[in-house]
């Protein structure tokens, strides 16, 4: 059977008669209060890992497999947030989903110290129906952005659409482009940052590039620069916690205003923006893409330079700093 591993209360090792069982089928009785649909979404979102890697609900278990479950409380239970009338910058909306340009400073869903005034509160007021797969605390939320990160975020209006979008994110079929204002100007105008990410060995609240972390890959190119700052376009090929911020720190050019991986200085937030998002619309299978304009708090030189930027080269070569 799957038994608890002493390393963590939510880690198990597969053995005995449960070898060959589907991952989702076996975990169902272990995760009380979680429906099979919600569990499958959690697996697609990478909240359940098999031997340190993202997997799929139908994956068969083998002897010695280690299953790690990191499902946050909101997906398991909790009270439903209140609907609140708030302005939303909606880039696109239909009967299946909507794409919102989230402003910096707006928390995505309720949590400790943020029970009101979140994107979820606004969505509950705006939408007549919304997906409940993410749990009472995260209706409609397919993916998240940090509080200080602005830009594109997609919201599902039904459980079916939510599950389909979550599967695309988990399988890395979505395309994401971020804009970061960084300290200094990278020596290489474009490149690839290939560094495994895990918990910082000393400062456990932070992430870092570590030897035994999870494989992480980000491509980047410098779009413009002014003095001691540069505007950098980043494409995360994996979805690790704080990936872009950690990788740019590792490159030697942390995001401006980032108090965790750089310095806050005189800035009110870290300057990271979810610029573009593309995916296959689950209802039509058509490829759709969205762009969130650069916020006004970015420096004028960056906002002026952006419209003149040419498409990226077809290949990036590895950066060596």
Instruction: List pLDDT tens digits, range 146-197.
Output: 999 999 999 999 989 998 998 898 888 999 999 999 999 999 999 999 999 9
State the pairing for strand pair 272-280/175-183.
antiparallel
The arrangement of secondary structure in 3-71, i.e. its CATH architecture, is: Roll (3.10)
Is pLDDT above 70 for 262? Answer: yes
Identical fold at 3-71 and 90-170?
no
**Among 36, 3, 39, which residue's Cα sits nearest to residue 18?**
3
Q: Tokens 């494409």 identify what position?
A: 235
**Which comes out higher in pLDDT, residue 2 or 20?**
20
Is pLDDT above 50 for 74? Answer: no
The answer to whether residue 94 is catalytic is no
DSSP code for 157 = S
The domain limits of the chain are 3-71, 90-170, 175-308
> What band does 113 get if pLDDT is binned at 50, 70 and 90?
low
> What band does 132 get if pLDDT is binned at 50, 70 and 90?
confident
Strand residues in 37-109 grouped as ranges (E): 48-50, 53-54, 66-69, 90-93, 97-102
Output the pLDDT for position 6: 29
Count of other CB atoms within 10 angstroms of residue 37: 16
Task: Find the angle CA(239)-CA(240)-CA(241) to the nearest 5 degrees.
Answer: 125
Question: Distance between CA 45 and CA 4 in Å, rounded?
Answer: 23
Is pLDDT above 60 for 117? Answer: yes
Count of other CB atoms within 10 angstroms of residue 74: 20
| Backbone dihedral angles phi then psi of residue 87, each to the nearest 5 degrees | -70, 135
Q: Any idea which fold 175-308 has?
A: Pseudouridine synthase (3.30.2350)
Beta carbons of 47 and 170 less than 8 angstroms apart: no
Which residues on neighbouring strands pair with residue 190, listed in sequence order?
Answer: 221
Pick the CATH number of 90-170 from 3.30.2350.10, 3.20.20.70, 2.30.30.790, 3.30.930.10: 3.30.2350.10
Average pLDDT over residues 253-259: 97
State the catalytic residue, choosing from 146, 159, 194, 258: 146
Buried b (16+ CB within 10 A) or exposed e, 187-196: ebbbbbbbbb
CA-based end-to-end distance of the chain: 48
């Amino acid at each position: 059977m799957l038994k608890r591993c002493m390393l963590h209360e939510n880690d198990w090792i597969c053995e005995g008669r449960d070898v060959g069982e589907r991952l989702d089928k076996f975990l169902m009785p272990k995760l009380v209060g979680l429906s099979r649909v919600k569990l499958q979404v959690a697996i697609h979102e990478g909240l359940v890992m098999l031997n340190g890697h993202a997997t799929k609900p139908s994956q068969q278990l083998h002897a010695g497999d280690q299953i790690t479950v990191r499902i946050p409380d909101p997906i398991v239970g909790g009270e439903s947030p209140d609907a609140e009338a708030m302005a939303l910058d909606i880039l696109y909306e239909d009967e299946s989903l909507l794409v919102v340009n989230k402003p910096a400073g707006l928390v995505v869903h309720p949590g400790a110290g943020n029970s009101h005034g979140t994107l979820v509160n606004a969505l509950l007021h705006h939408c007549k129906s919304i997906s409940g797969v993410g749990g009472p605390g995260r209706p409609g939320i397919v993916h998240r952005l940090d509080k200080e990160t602005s830009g594109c975020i997609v919201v599902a209006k039904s459980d079916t659409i939510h599950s389909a979008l979550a599967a695309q994110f988990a399988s890395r079929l979505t395309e994401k482009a971020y804009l970061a204002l960084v300290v200094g100007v990278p020596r290489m105008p474009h490149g690839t940052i290939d560094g495994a990410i895990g918990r910082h060995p000393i400062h456990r609240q932070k992430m870092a590039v570590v030897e035994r972390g999870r494989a992480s890959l980000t491509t980047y190119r410098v779009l413009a620069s002014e003095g001691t700052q540069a505007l950098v376009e980043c494409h995360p090929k994996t979805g690790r916690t704080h990936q872009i911020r950690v990788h740019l720190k590792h490159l030697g050019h942390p995001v401006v205003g980032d108090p965790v991986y750089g310095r806050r200085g005189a800035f009110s937030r870290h300057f990271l923006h979810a610029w573009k998002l593309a995916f296959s619309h689950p209802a039509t299978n058509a490829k759709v893409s969205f762009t969130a304009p650069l916020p006004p708090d970015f420096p004028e030189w960056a906002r002026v330079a952006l419209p003149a930027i040419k498409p990226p080269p077809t290949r990036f070569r590895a950066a060596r700093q």
